[in-house]
Structure 1
Amino acid sequence: MKKPGLEPVVWNPPLPSESAPDRLPTLRTFPLPGSGPEDVLVAADGSVLTGVDDGRILRLDPETSQVTVVADTGGRPLGLEWLPDGRLLVCDAEIGLLAVEVNRGSERVPTGVPTTGLGKVETLVDQVDGQQVRICNNASVGADGTIWFTDSSARFDFAHWKGDLIEHRGTGRLLRRDPDGSTSTVCAGLQFANGVALNADASAVYVAETGSYALHRVDLSGSSAGIREPVAENLPGFPDNVSLGDGGLIWVAIASPRNPIVDRLSPLPPMLRRAVWALPEKAQPKPAFEIGLVAIDPADGSTVYNLAGTNPEFGVSTGVRERNGTVWLGSLSANSIASFELTDL
């Protein structure tokens, strides 16, 4: 696949915070028969669902570590949420917004088993306002079935996601799908729109801008509807998925710490970033195999937890979900998901 051209925009990143993160608690890791379990979602029975880079949706039983295949999107699943009808909502970076049955047939791994009997996959959205959804990334679902979801870039597909961050043109969108199937743009011009979380009273959503180290609040009604208000504008790295915890905290997965090379090049002539983009993939800046998490109090925007650490079996933390005292983590590139207990903080 030919690499798209780059049209970099000059910008000045905020200065990195001088405050050091707290050490991440010891993780429990769960090996998977697949790579890149980008998001995690906890079911009512305590099992954990995730999607891997070959399109399969996996279900993990944390008690036995048994893994089953419950569906296959045929694309690249990223964000996961529950729909009111019990189906799994999947943000597929290559296809769009999907509804997937995960409670019919299931088959044990390892890979290579037949996929007959797996859950039916329905495409809900693949374009909005006449524009293709190029990187469907993350979503949040209201009680009535209204879906807020992100399209990270209008210029780059998932295979070239890094180009959007290097370019910094800001073509991401926060989108909405109503229960009747109609769709609309809530706000545009986002720097690699990523994680989405509906707040407790459904009056606003929080959306992460990976390309600007920021988290914003977007009101959903009234005179300020669709307007972004900053909550955190200097996160310690590239924010990815966002979720609302049981205790009301907004959890933000930090996929990678900030890259000094990327920050230094951003205010310099665009030709320098074009040169970086022209390099072979292995020579370009890449996410560090580290773990980062931030938890924010939505009442005042204060940071409650700023956690960082490393684990040889897990890194590039892109998904986070707090349920019943356990924090679950997903990854863009690891072959496992991970967890720790809130009581260990």
Structure 2
Amino acid sequence: MFDLKQLSSTLQMKRVSWVWLLSALSAVFTVYVSLIPSPIRPNLYIYPKPLPALEGTLQKNNLLQRAKKLFEGQLLGPESITAGKNGTLYTGAQDGRILAFNNTHIWTIARTGQNVPGCGSFELEPICGRPKGLKMNREGDLLVLDAYFGLLKVNVSTGQMEMLLSSETGINGEPFFFLNSLDISQSGLVYFTDSTTRWGRRHYRYEVMEVNALGRLIEYNPETKVARQLLGNLYLANGIALSQDESFLVISEMSVCRLSRLYLKGPKTGQMDIFSDNLPGYPDNIKINNHGNFYVGLGAVRYEGVSKIGPFLDLVGPYPGIKNFIAKVTPLFLFDIFVPRHAIVLEISPDGKIIRSLHDPTGQVTSAVGEAYQHQGYLYLAHFKSTFIGQIDIRDIE
């Protein structure tokens, strides 16, 4: 005869056993996680409030969805774009290549590192190189800032490269760890950022989580071959751009969602202030457009209503302990699950006001834009994870 009481008792005992087992495993896991060291040293940081609202000049639109995808699948991670005197465009790729392109063709002119199987992978990035900021100088040579190797000069006709300032040499006895963006003045002075003195480029996610102030702004004089530090204590120093009259320089402090300004001329020479704060995302590269305004690409977004719980970094910013736990248990590549698919390019006036924004609110064409570069009637879009170069006819967005 079927004994319901005995069955009920047996099931109850099994439930108790499972509860005990899960509790024990949970305790073991907690002890294990508490004992293993965290890969990061996070700081407490409270982001500005209230969050930006997507209204007014930040109102959502679909203008970035009008981009044409150039050379899709032929490159990975075009980080920055610049043009030569003959109209040829140049960019750097994740596998260390420096590429030239026009509207129909793309070709390799040089490599910053070794050409070995597996270039473009996380593991080989420090060997193959990672060209980041680049711009033509007055003599027609391409200056390239490689995240790992240093400041290079490239003859675009022959592909011959010259090291101007190596990361190993660095400045003031301290090597460069994460070279990022550059701009060149009319007199030939080179300004560039070293994002942090702790992490290399491929560990940028840890740098964002830590919210430290270890970034630097460097000035290099090609004639004297002398470099000097203009600013320190920057939060993930990223994109930079000279103003049209070169009276000041704008710097992206990516991890704290703001742009800072360093005065180069006038009564405030040498002083720094905040140019634009509490941005709706994490500013990446900065480029001057034909109106003298700044195009700022956002590597990821943060705004009111971005998700049901709010922006991830805003939420964990005040809690270093939670950041440590996340860094211990989350593989680097999984950090991207916290990044919404929404591309935004800001247009910011010389007085630091957002006067316009371009969006792809669903990531239909591109999930993020790290740089927007205007050239000969087109806007070119780049991002360090993209598999194409975006191109928009300026007439389609004005």
TM-score (ref. length: structure 2): 0.77
Instruction: Rate the CA distance shift 1:14–1:327 in 2: closer, same or farther, 3 A.
Output: same
Q: State the alpha-carbon separation in 2 of the partners of residues 91 and 307 from structure 1.
A: 28
Match of 1:23 among 49, 55, 61: 61
Q: Which residue of the partner structure matches residue 43 of structure 2?
A: 9
Q: Which residue of the partner structure matches residue 111 of structure 1?
A: none
| Residue 253 (1) aligns with residue 303 (2) | no
Deviation at 1:260, TM superposition (A): 1.4
Deviation at 1:227, TM superposition (A): 2.6
Deviation per CA, 1:306-340, whole angstroms, max 9, x where unpaired?
12205555333112211233211111111101021
Q: Which residue of the partner structure matches residue 30 of structure 2?
A: none
| Residue 277 (1) aligns with residue 316 (2) | no
| Residue 40 (1) aligns with residue 81 (2) | yes
Deviation per CA, 1:196-243, whole angstroms, max 9, x where unpaired?
101112221111110111111111245533332112101111100001
Gaps (5+ residues) in structure 2?
A: 1-36, 114-128, 303-309
**Residue type matched to 2:383 in 1?**
S
Match of 1:265 among 316, 320, 324: 316
**Residue type matched to 1:257 in 2?**
V
Q: State the alpha-carbon separation in 1 of the partners of residues 272 and 357 from structure 2.
A: 23
Contact 1:76 1:94 in 2 (8 A): yes
Give runs of aligned pairs for residues 215-254 of structure 1, distance below 5 A: 215-221=259-265, 224-254=268-298
Q: State the alpha-carbon separation in 2 of the partners of residues 341 and 304 from structure 1.
A: 20
**Residue type matched to 1:277 in 2?**
A
- How many residues are paired up? 326
Matched residue SS, 2:144: strand
Contact 2:236 2:253 in 1 (8 A): yes
Deviation at 1:121, TM superposition (A): 3.9
Gaps (5+ residues) in structure 1?
A: 105-117
More strand by share: 1
Contact 1:253 1:293 in 2 (8 A): yes
Q: Which residue of the partner structure matches residue 70 of structure 1?
A: 109
Q: Which residue of the partner structure matches residue 185 of structure 1?
A: 229
| Residue 318 (1) aligns with residue 370 (2) | yes
Q: State the alpha-carbon separation in 1 of the partners of residues 237 and 372 from structure 2.
A: 17
Contact 2:301 2:340 in 1 (8 A): yes
Q: State the alpha-carbon separation in 1 of the partners of residues 207 and 214 from structure 2.
A: 8
Deviation per CA, 1:245-268, whole angstroms, max 9, x where unpaired?
121011111111137122100012
Contact 1:316 1:332 in 2 (8 A): no
Matched residue SS, 2:255: helix
Matched residue SS, 2:322: helix
Give runs of aligned pairs for residues 1-345 of structure 1, distance below 5 A: 5-15=39-49, 16-20=51-55, 21-25=59-63, 26-32=66-72, 33-62=74-103, 65-74=104-113, 75-104=129-158, 118-126=159-167, 127-179=170-222, 180-221=224-265, 224-258=268-302, 260-268=311-319, 270-278=320-328, 279-285=330-336, 287-298=339-350, 300-309=351-360, 310-312=362-364, 314-345=366-397
Q: State the alpha-carbon separation in 1 of the partners of residues 90 and 291 from structure 2.
A: 21
More helix by share: 2
Q: State the alpha-carbon separation in 1 of the partners of residues 353 and 394 from structure 2.
A: 18
Deviation at 1:160, TM superposition (A): 0.8
Instruction: Rate the CA distance shift 1:285–1:67 in 2: closer, same or farther, 3 A.
Output: closer
Matched residue SS, 2:370: strand
Contact 2:77 2:93 in 1 (8 A): yes
TM-score (ref. length: structure 1): 0.89
Q: Percent identity?
A: 26
Q: State the alpha-carbon separation in 2 of the partners of residues 273 and 130 from structure 1.
A: 32
Instruction: Rate the CA distance shift 1:24–1:121 in 2: closer, same or farther, 3 A.
Output: farther
**Residue type matched to 1:100 in 2?**
V
Of 41-50 and 185-194, more deviation after overlay is shown by: 41-50
Of 95-104 and 39-48, more deviation after overlay is shown by: 39-48
Q: State the alpha-carbon separation in 1 of the partners of residues 164 and 220 from structure 2.
A: 12
Q: State the alpha-carbon separation in 2 of the partners of residues 246 and 272 from structure 1.
A: 44
Q: State the alpha-carbon separation in 2 of the partners of residues 206 and 125 from structure 1.
A: 24
Deviation per CA, 1:99-122, whole angstroms, max 9, x where unpaired?
111122xxxxxxxxxxxxx33242
Matched residue SS, 1:170: coil
Contact 2:258 2:278 in 1 (8 A): yes
Deviation per CA, 1:271-297, whole angstroms, max 9, x where unpaired?
110111122123324544542100111
Contact 2:205 2:332 in 1 (8 A): no
**Residue type matched to 2:43 in 1?**
V
Deviation at 1:125, TM superposition (A): 4.1
Of 216-225 and 176-185, more deviation after overlay is shown by: 216-225
**Residue type matched to 2:88 in 1?**
S
**Residue type matched to 1:321 in 2?**
Y
Matched residue SS, 1:200: coil
Matched residue SS, 1:156: coil
